[in-house]
Amino acid sequence: GICGKPKIEVSDKGVKKLFAAEDISAMVLTKMKEVASAYLTADVKSAVITVPAYFDDLQRQATKDAAALMFCAILAANMSGKGNKMVKSLVLLDVIPLSLGFETHGQIMQVVIPKNTPIPVTKEVRTHTDRDSDQSVILTKVFQGERSRSRDNILVGVFRLSNLPLAPRGVINFNVRFEIDADGILKVSAEETSTGQKGIITITKDKRCLSQEETDRMLQDAKRYKDDDQVYIKKIKAYNALEDYVYVMKTKVNDDNLRQRLSQEDMRKMNDLDHEARDWLKTNKLAEIQVIENKENELRCAYNSIIGQLM
């Protein structure tokens, strides 16, 4: 082309025509705009092209080269002032191809940064100890993927938050922070809110880099098992609700004020209920939702029959 600029030869109805790269981009974007406007029944005034940030080495290089060429074409068009309006509104962004999060109680992955989020990005969530009382160490597992259950995703890192103050279950709060810089390096930290105790891990791109085929498979699995995942979440919520109620019962059994007000026979019943409930939880982790809910209702009735006489 003129001044060494490359041209693209296109054959249209037997007639050969030459186009600059920005002309082709403008044609494609114009058509995309028409399709999007028709689908949304609204005017589309700008377009954003998102480029997955993590591929294997060859794919990453191809993505960088393609992005560089596109960027140069866009920059040249905008600097010359002759670019198509659609080209001028084009924005290129790196995005994460799979969601990132950490494991919570019940082996559920809590998503912190959803897939297709542009980088750099920083997000933070607050959580608390929800398993046992007097936890001095918390293990944080970082996952990437789209499934509800953490073990169905990919573990990309583990770190410890140590020297926590001893406290009852659910009392200790901490903030979990995910940061991804422009180079795709992920830093995950957890900080206990009262003492400032902090744990941190840095995860480079190669530690969680998947091929396009692997990424596509994980996305397809998430769609295929969506219903199963929803059932699993409901089951975990029911199990956690029962576990929470059993914990409340346990604290009541150890309450000196309550012990003084109940007869020895009622205290024996309370202790028996507590032991039986905890044993049931250990042996019925795979129970169906209805079975779990029935067990909670049964315990509530038995508990209220004892405590109710004090009201």
Count how many Cα atoms sit within 13 Å of the Cα of residue 4 in the half-sphere of its side chain.
0
Q: Are residues 137 and 204 in the same domain?
A: yes
pLDDT tens column, 219-264: 999 999 999 999 999 999 999 999 988 888 888 777 788 778 888 8
Q: Is 233 exposed, middle or buried, given 0-12, 13-18 or 19+ CB atoms closer than 10 A?
A: middle
Pairing of strands 90-95, 100-104: unpaired
Nearest in space to 20 (alpha carbons), one of 11, 10, 32, 33:
10
d(CA 162, CA 164): 6
| Final residue belonging to a domain, choices 66, 89, 112 | 89
Half-sphere exposure of 126 (CA within 13 A, CB side): 7
Residues 197, 109, single domain; the answer is yes
Q: Residue 141 belongs to a domain with what CATH number? A: 2.60.34.10
pTM for the whole structure:
0.67
Highest mean pLDDT among 42-51, 78-87, 88-97, 238-247: 238-247
CB 103 within 8 A of CB 116: no
First to last CA, the chain: 91
**How high does pLDDT run on average in the chain?**
79
Residue 144 CA to residue 216 CA, distance in Å, equals 13
Domain count, the chain: 3
Domain that holds residue 277: 218-309
Of the residues 210, 236, 262, the one at which a domain ends: 210
Please say if the pLDDT value at position 62 is more than 50. no
The pLDDT of residue 160 is 86
Which residues, listed in sequence order, are joined to residue 8 by a DSSP beta bridge?
19
Convert the pLDDT of each residue in 100-157 to its tens digit: 999 988 889 999 999 999 999 999 999 877 656 557 788 889 999 999 999 999 999 9
Which secondary-structure segment (H or E) carries 125? Answer: strand 121-128
